[in-house]
Amino acid sequence: MRNASEDDPYLWLEDISGEAALAWVAERNAETAGAVTADDGFGPLKARLREVLDASDRIPYTVRRGAYLYNFWRDAGHVRGLWRRTTLESYRQDEPDWEVLLDVDALAEAEGEKWVWDGANVRRPDFDRALVRLSRDGGDAVVVREFDLGTREFVADGFRLPEAKTRIGWAGPDTVLVGTDLGPDSLTDSGYPRTVRRWRRGTPVEASELVYEGERADVAAWGYRDSTPGFEREFVGRSPDFFRSETHLLRPDGTRVRIDVPDDADAYAHRQYLIVTLKSPWLGQPTGSLLAFGFDAFLAGDRTPEVLFTPDARTALAGHTWTRNHLILETMRDVSTRIEVLTPAAEGGWTREPLVGVPELSAVSVVDTDPDESDEYFLDVSGFLQPSTLHLGRIGAGTEVLKQAPHRFDTTGLTVGQHFATSADGTRVPYFVIGPDRTTTPGPGPALLYGYGGFEVSLTPSYAAVTGRAWLERGGTYVIANIRGGGEYGPDWHQAALGAERPRAFEDFAAVAKDLVARGITTPAMLGAKGGSNGGLLMGAMLTRHPELFGAIVAQVPLLDMTRFHKLLAGASWIAEYGDPDDPADRPHLAAISPYHLLAADRPYPPVLLMTSTRDDRVHPGHARKTAARLRELGHRVLFYENTGGGHAGAGDNEQAAHNSALVHTYLWQQLAAPGSPTVPGPLTASPSAVPAAPSGTGL
């Protein structure tokens, strides 16, 4: 094991755009191209994946803003995308009449920039202007420009900001609340805004009124205006770390009133309510509960909650969304979704009833609602082998199917199952298996195990056409592990793997790998593992702690140097998840889970593919670069690929996304498939008649 205190001989690879570092990257990319992209199966697979990503019959998901439904769309003819809108009446048609607001491809060509769309904040209540965010080649930092939705042009003398990790939102027709890079002391150590300012039209942002400031050690400060008619309010706050925050009501005279909830709770105002999600026990209610208070009564000192949800050992809160008169509650029971409608009663209390029947092992999510005007909701229903169906519903008035996505891969002979592995400390860990029916296709085969295990992120069932074409169609089995560190069983499931307890997530993943072999689904030689970002740390842990369990490992935009992560880009914002390398109490456990420092010459590692992006301004590409260099130095089998763009997503357009996915799956098939297995999956064979009828009814 390397001593974490030793000088790092590969620090020069942290120079993101350094000439020597980029030359090294080019050499490694060429090696990977020769080994993987030159494979006979790579080109055909990439073409089939690009076909999926560019398909014109994808569901164009929308958000309602006033009378219009807005959508951002990419396809083969619009690589960087179109921001567009239509009416609900037109959206019901197979071919809606879209009004194009902004053509990002045309803008990129005109300005000579590789612009990537990052969203827009539309001004209420008239929905006539927008604050458009554009990223250079996919990074987290954005430029901001005011856009006129009537003329479909940028406002010449409007709000405009240069590249930064800006937070901005409307606070009136001619005012915004903004946090951005204004020079020294305007950013936190994590690179996010430390101040909130009221910026008025026609004045320099540097001269804008300071309304709030956080500490330099905070993750970020923030401010926003709630524009709900009749409940207009402004809030400011700070996030001392990734999981704690404090929120203040900003009064018109500039004074502040703190919303006195636990600092690890999520709290926000909605109309007359204060809604609080607990991450620790409070007021006699357990972790993971959802509470409602009267907003004014709470400020006056009343701490009597209406309990909207209480978790149990198998059920956790997945999310909630408001319509005009109701609250739609999404919960998970053993990672399968349940949905209820909660309605405040005139005499006090809340009533509840199921919203719609939900298929087992499926994902159901509320895509959008119109909380100001109506009780409509857009509901997406999908499953591992079930393409999405988009429903439009109105609470109390039934639903209609708006859109049905077609099958993208052949599901013949495929099944879905859920199993539970037993981790080292006895914890039951759920996982999903999607692959050949073992009753008709006996014996082990190639399998790919995916995991994340951090930041309370839940991995739920969904239809993944790229995985279907790249892996399932050719006979592979795909497995998703719901390990601790995620949110599948609420905050306790996440907190069980925080800080020095991070190895529990690693043990959970290893337990799933062993269980797959014990069930005869695969063998260690045919089992691959894949994860990205925090999941890349998980892959590094599998490589260094359990190399005997895997035949190949892929880590994408990974976090691997746990002794320096806080010094690189946004790394300081993750200290609450992992610990502080500068704290003597945390340094030992961080060194003990740092894959970069645990690599050794005398251990037999499986082959590894490390992937990153030069433009990733969240997880520094140096993590992957240095680890690849160290593995090479020690004589191990490693390939490295760095996309020059794409940001933390690794890809800024469908071409890059198809390339990356084809690279991953071609590499894994090379390493894991038995001799004689097909290298190129066949074309989709399911006929249109095979598509089942549609059912009725948003770290690291």
The per-residue pLDDT for range 60-114, each reduced to its tens digit, is 999 999 999 999 999 999 999 999 999 999 999 999 999 999 999 999 999 999 9
Q: Which of 320, 326, 566, 648 is labelled catalytic?
A: 648
The predicted structure's pLDDT at residue 396: 87
Q: 682 falls in which pLDDT band (50, 70, 90)?
A: very low
The predicted structure's pLDDT at residue 442: 84
Q: How far is the CA of 462 from the CAs of 134, 391, 458, 465, 533, in angstroms?
A: 28, 16, 12, 10, 20
The predicted structure's pLDDT at residue 4: 41
Instruction: Give percent of the chain above pLDDT 90.
Output: 89
Query: Quick one: average pLDDT of 371-392?
Result: 95
Q: 348 falls in which pLDDT band (50, 70, 90)?
A: confident
The beta-strand segments (E) located in 572-621 are: 608-613
Calpha distance 102→564 (Å, rounded): 41
Q: Which residue has the higher pLDDT, 685 or 115?
A: 115
Query: Quick one: average pLDDT of 228-243?
Result: 96
The predicted structure's pLDDT at residue 688: 27
**DSSP characters for 414-452?**
EEEEEEEEE-TTS-EEEEEEEEE-TTTS-S---EEEE--
Calpha distance 534→541 (Å, rounded): 11
Instruction: Give percent of the chain above pLDDT 70.
Output: 94
Residue 131 has pLDDT above 80, yes or no: yes
Planar angle of CA 639, 643, 648, nearest 5 degrees: 105
What does pLDDT average to over the chain? 93
> Taking a C-beta distance cutoff of 8 angstroms, is the pair 403, 389 a contact?
yes
Calpha distance 149→133 (Å, rounded): 15
Calpha distance 42→668 (Å, rounded): 12
For this structure, is 648 an active site residue? yes
Q: 5 falls in which pLDDT band (50, 70, 90)?
A: very low
Query: Quick one: average pLDDT of 448-474?
Result: 96
Q: Which helix (H) or strand (E) holds 291?
A: strand 290-294
Residue 676 has pLDDT above 70, yes or no: no
The predicted structure's pLDDT at residue 686: 29
Query: Quick one: average pLDDT of 426-450?
Result: 94
For the chain, what are the domain ranges? 11-50+408-672, 182-258, 259-311, 329-392
The predicted structure's pLDDT at residue 692: 27
Collapsed DSSP state (helix, strand, coil) of residue 223: strand
Q: Which helix (H) or strand (E) holds 80?
A: strand 78-86
Q: How far is the CA of 685 from the CAs of 100, 399, 469, 631, in angstroms?
A: 35, 32, 12, 42
DSSP state of 548: G
Calpha distance 144→115 (Å, rounded): 12
- DSSP bridge partners of 115: 136
The predicted structure's pLDDT at residue 489: 97
The predicted structure's pLDDT at residue 652: 84
Please choose, from the candidates 446, 422, 676, the residue with its C-alpha nearest in 3D space to the C-alpha of residue 552. 446
Q: Which of 324-328, 447-451, 644-648 has the lowest mean pLDDT?
A: 644-648
Query: Quick one: average pLDDT of 542-553?
Result: 98
> Taking a C-beta distance cutoff of 8 angstroms, is the pair 154, 83 a contact?
no
> Taking a C-beta distance cutoff of 8 angstroms, is the pair 497, 454 a contact?
yes
The predicted structure's pLDDT at residue 361: 56
Planar angle of CA 658, 659, 661, nearest 5 degrees: 65
Q: How far is the CA of 258 from the CAs of 21, 261, 301, in angstroms?
A: 48, 9, 12
The predicted structure's pLDDT at residue 698: 29
Q: Which of 388, 423, 533, 613 is labelled catalytic?
A: 533
Query: Quick one: average pLDDT of 256-275?
Result: 97
The predicted structure's pLDDT at residue 597: 97
Q: 670 falls in which pLDDT band (50, 70, 90)?
A: very high
> Taking a C-beta distance cutoff of 8 angstroms, is the pair 168, 176 a contact?
yes
The predicted structure's pLDDT at residue 2: 42
Dihedral over alpha carbons 644, 652, 164, 486 (to 10 degrees): -100
Q: 439 falls in which pLDDT band (50, 70, 90)?
A: confident
Residue 188 has pLDDT above 60, yes or no: yes
Residue 691 has pLDDT above 50, yes or no: no
Query: Quick one: average pLDDT of 479-487?
Result: 98
> Taking a C-beta distance cutoff of 8 angstroms, is the pair 626, 16 a contact?
no
Q: 474 falls in which pLDDT band (50, 70, 90)?
A: very high
For this structure, is 90 an active site residue? no
Q: Looking up tokens 């920039």, which residue turns up?
A: 113
Query: Quick one: average pLDDT of 596-621?
Result: 96
β-pair type (527-532, 447-450): parallel
Top mean pLDDT of 23-32, 359-368, 668-677 is at 23-32
Q: 228 falls in which pLDDT band (50, 70, 90)?
A: very high
The predicted structure's pLDDT at residue 699: 56
Residue 210 has pLDDT above 70, yes or no: yes
Q: Which residue has the higher pLDDT, 681 or 439?
A: 439
Query: Quick one: average pLDDT of 299-305?
Result: 97
- The residues near 498 (Cβ < 8 Å, ≥ 6 apart) are 485, 576, 577
Calpha distance 76→56 (Å, rounded): 9
Domain 11-50+408-672, CATH: 3.40.50.1820
The predicted structure's pLDDT at residue 413: 95
DSSP state of 302: -
The predicted structure's pLDDT at residue 346: 82
